[in-house]
Structure 1
Amino acid sequence: MEYSGEQEQFDVVVIGAGIMGSCAAYQLAKHGQKVVLLEQFDFLHHLGSSHGESRTIRATYPEDYYSQMVIESSRLWEEAESEIGYQVYIKTPQFDMGPNNNKSLQCVIENCKSSSLPCSVLDPKQVSEQFKGRFELPENWVGVLTQLGGVLKPTKAVSMFQTLAFQMGAILRDNMQVIDIKKDNEKGGVCVFTSNGSMFRGNKCIITIGAWMQKFVKMVTGKVLPIQPLHTTICYWRIKKGHEEKFLVDSGFPTFASYSEPYIYGTPSCEFPGLVKIAVHGGYQCDPDERTWVSTKIEDSVNSWIEGRFSGHVDSSKPVFTQSCMYSMTPDEDFVIDFLGGEFGNDVVIAGGFSGHGFKMGPVVGRILNDLVLNGEALGVDLSYFKMSRFEKNPEGNVKEFEDQVHSYEPLPM
């Protein structure tokens, strides 16, 4: 096939311009690399996993290997904000809650101690006093309050990292659908081919394509990674009249997560006046190229959870409106960050399977990807948990001692 479009040599070609690819391009450009960032759709599109009005940031994880990553990422978020000159990270406390015998929540508490992350463990009465009646917990529940929390502005944040990468010399190209990559046996490195006839040569290549990762890796290598795209629905609920100010960041309202069935999370009222984001962690299986865009059914348990936890201050009858997003879910809900291997060896790095909780770690993942392509290793983080080979040893991936937060995936809607 003749490739009549762009043909240029780069140190690194980054495929996928969501939060992970944009952070990687930023780090590479910052380290003096000649880098090109390719996106199959328009930049800042709403078809993947890196758009919208909010994501939470928290260091409270049942898995101890994530807490330090979030702490580093928090610092890197602030560093990027200082370079761009505007805010994408709105700080507020993080509040986790759940039954006091919930293994995941107990692991969260233990990890706070081992990570030197200050936390307050509160009984229901203390929770009511702390939040002045805005949260009410059942008698057998416990709350965990930490100060490292907040709201991230996703679309604005992706734009920030792309802008910083561009200012540092990165080349950005959208509407560049990558259809193949091949080992460059002539010059070494990798050749990246796009549907419009362009070819980009890179000494190294990073692939961060979210819900398209499984399809692409199978096409290129024949390997089947257990990364399942899920269509998920974000819900916004009306705060009842006279209570709107209680749910604002300025009033001390936190980002929150509920370790119960279902696993529920949310943010203060900051995206839309008078509304609070309350959503379920999960969704239904989908093909990223053939989504139905049908909203996930709201279970009755969500309505009763809202009514019970917020003392009747939020209208729990139905959400005011919903937004669609996608997860790239692994069986163990851990990331995949690894060399592609095979004929590509260490020339190609993949990063995917962020399972609905990776956005907050975009800056640290960008740093890790930069380190992997430049040095062959990344310091300060144990990447053994994120290797592809874990699924060869066990189809479910990493073994964990606590219950999963996504208990089942709904089938494709008919």
Structure 2
Amino acid sequence: MRMRSQKMGHRPAASAAGPHRDWPPARRPHVDSAEYVVIGAGLVGASIARSLAKRGREVIVVDEHEPAVPRGSSHGSARILRITYPETFYTDMALRARRLFDELAAETGHQLITATGTLDHGDVRQPERLAEVLADLGVDYELLTAEAAMERWPQFRFDGPVLFHRDAGVIDAGTAVTASLESALAHGAQLRTQWQVDNGSRARGGPPPGANLTLTSATGEQLGARHVIVAAGGGLPGLCSGLPVCDRAQSALNRVTVRQEQVYHFPIAAGMPTDWPTFIHKDAAMQAYGLPGGRDGAYTDTSGTARLGIKLAEFNGGQVIGDAEEQTGRLDEAGQARMIDFVSDRIPGLVAEPYAGATCLFTSTPDQDFIIDTAEDITIVSACSGHGAKLAPATGEAVAAALAERTALPERFAFVRD
């Protein structure tokens, strides 16, 4: 069945940073232009806006909907936070992102991460290689045999080595968006929702004065910017077709694949542990991941008791679509059957019948690297391929530093790369 979406906002608690507004925060008076306009108020866009605002830069964030709506890539209360990558580049980035999430939580008073630990399994996942990277960086881990892992976690069925990393967990993505925007606004940024960008044009020197670009909304409103940052997730291909982006940027965007993915929530079997780690399984037959379901994965069992199930999804298993606007919200029966077979084969701790399902938006590149680059006064940010959420604060920091402080972005994120 289609899982019902829920609003992610909370009333934040007071912290050392001071009292907080209710969500949505009160808007400051609108202005007609800003040094930076960020298109997209998801996790990455909000993180960029926060990092720029904390540097004293003038920022306006626009979004065609409200923050963290189900049609975007940053909604829901459960995303995997993992540190494990087969190379130090992303592992370092993940460690930095984790620290920034903790700083954001301390600043805003929101709980953003639930620590669960994570399991990595499967020959394609290469647990031994992941362990080598963690060892090189001095990160604690355990590499177990299949037998030792199944004794410890009887809800799984393993047939090869298993890596356990205890500092991983679950990110409350919707609340992280809220917290990032609260922080950005507290540092002077502005937020305009229901502001759908229709097109953009060059406007050297204005109007308004000082603007290099003029954005026009679907309702005819205009907004000037010295620099535009596009962080629109699966909406990038369609959105950028209306912006004056260079050929290099357009060629890079042509490599982006947008999928309507689907996630399923399964109940925990009787007699099985109720505290679950997150997990990633990759072999030739299936690439899947799972995690405790969060608020949007709640269900009521036969006794009337509220429970949280386990959320599972197949990596790159969804229908390819051209753009975020082509989402149908319909679940794919073949995809559901594959996930049920996977649960039956690999996860005896679950009842192999989902009680809920939902579609979501997923963008990826062929090499699974981000696309983050600048051409003139437009920066394209496609933080995608299944690790955008967990790395969002570090991505925001890197983009803000590149724009405000002229630090270099990684070459592997460039529009044109080897």
Q: TM-score, normalised by structure 2?
A: 0.82
Contact 1:214–1:228 under 8 Å retained in 2: no
Per-residue deviation, 1:324:
1.3
- Counterpart residue number, 1:177: 196
Please give the alpha-carbon distance, in whole angstroms, between the structure 2 residues aligned to 1:242 and 1:270: 21
Question: Structure 1 residues 174, 324: closer, same or farther in 2, change over 3 A?
Answer: same
Number of corresponding residues: 365
Contact 1:77–1:363 under 8 Å retained in 2: yes
Q: Does 1:194 align with 2:217?
A: yes
Q: Deviations over 1:204-253 (max 9, x none)?
A: 2211011121223344335232111100001100112343xx132xxxx2
Secondary structure, counterpart of 1:279 in structure 2: strand
The residue type paired with residue 312 of structure 2 is I
| Segment of structure 1 superposing worse, 7-16 or 84-93 | 7-16
2:117 to 90, 93, 114: 93
Question: Structure 1 residues 234, 334: closer, same or farther in 2, change over 3 A?
Answer: same
Contact 1:204–1:373 under 8 Å retained in 2: no
1:354 to 381, 384, 398: 384
Please give the alpha-carbon distance, in whole angstroms, between the structure 1 residues aligned to 2:241 and 2:127: 36
Contact 1:234–1:325 under 8 Å retained in 2: yes
- Counterpart residue number, 2:129: 107
- Counterpart residue number, 1:325: 360
Q: Does 1:313 align with 2:332?
A: no
Q: Does 1:291 align with 2:331?
A: no
- Counterpart residue number, 1:278: 312
Please give the alpha-carbon distance, in whole angstroms, between the structure 2 residues aligned to 1:385 and 1:29: 26
Contact 1:7–1:199 under 8 Å retained in 2: no
Q: Deviations over 1:34-71 (max 9, x none)?
A: 21100011233211111012100001112431100000
Secondary structure, counterpart of 1:359 in structure 2: coil
Please give the alpha-carbon distance, in whole angstroms, between the structure 1 residues aligned to 2:381 and 2:274: 35
Question: Structure 1 residues 106, 242: closer, same or farther in 2, change over 3 A?
Answer: closer
Contact 1:262–1:302 under 8 Å retained in 2: no
Q: Does 1:74 align with 2:92?
A: no
Structure 1 stretches of 5 or more lacking a match? 1-5, 394-414
Q: Deviations over 1:278-308 (max 9, x none)?
A: 2111211113212222213336553343234
- Counterpart residue number, 1:368: 398
| Segment of structure 1 superposing worse, 210-219 or 326-335 | 210-219
- Counterpart residue number, 2:169: 150
Q: Does 1:229 align with 2:258?
A: yes
- Counterpart residue number, 1:166: 185
- Counterpart residue number, 1:411: none
Per-residue deviation, 1:315:
0.8
Structure 1 ranges of 4+ moved more than 4 A: none
Secondary structure, counterpart of 2:185 in structure 1: helix
Question: Structure 1 residues 13, 79: closer, same or farther in 2, change over 3 A?
Answer: same
Aligned-residue RMSD, C-alpha: 2.0
Per-residue deviation, 1:268:
2.6
Secondary structure, counterpart of 2:326 in structure 1: coil
Contact 1:204–1:348 under 8 Å retained in 2: yes
Q: Does 1:386 align with 2:401?
A: no
Percent of residue pairs identical: 25
1:137 to 144, 150, 158: 158
Structure 2 stretches of 5 or more lacking a match? 1-29, 299-306
| Segment of structure 1 superposing worse, 67-76 or 106-115 | 106-115
1:239-278 equivalence runs, <5 A: 239-243=268-272, 246-248=273-275, 253-260=276-283, 261-268=285-292, 270-271=294-295, 272=298, 273-278=307-312
Contact 1:7–1:201 under 8 Å retained in 2: no
Secondary structure, counterpart of 2:179 in structure 1: helix
Please give the alpha-carbon distance, in whole angstroms, between the structure 1 residues aligned to 2:358 and 2:293: 16
Q: Does 1:125 align with 2:147?
A: yes
Per-residue deviation, 1:93:
0.8
Per-residue deviation, 1:104:
4.0
Please give the alpha-carbon distance, in whole angstroms, between the structure 1 residues aligned to 2:350 and 2:107: 38
Please give the alpha-carbon distance, in whole angstroms, between the structure 2 residues aligned to 1:200 and 1:376: 25
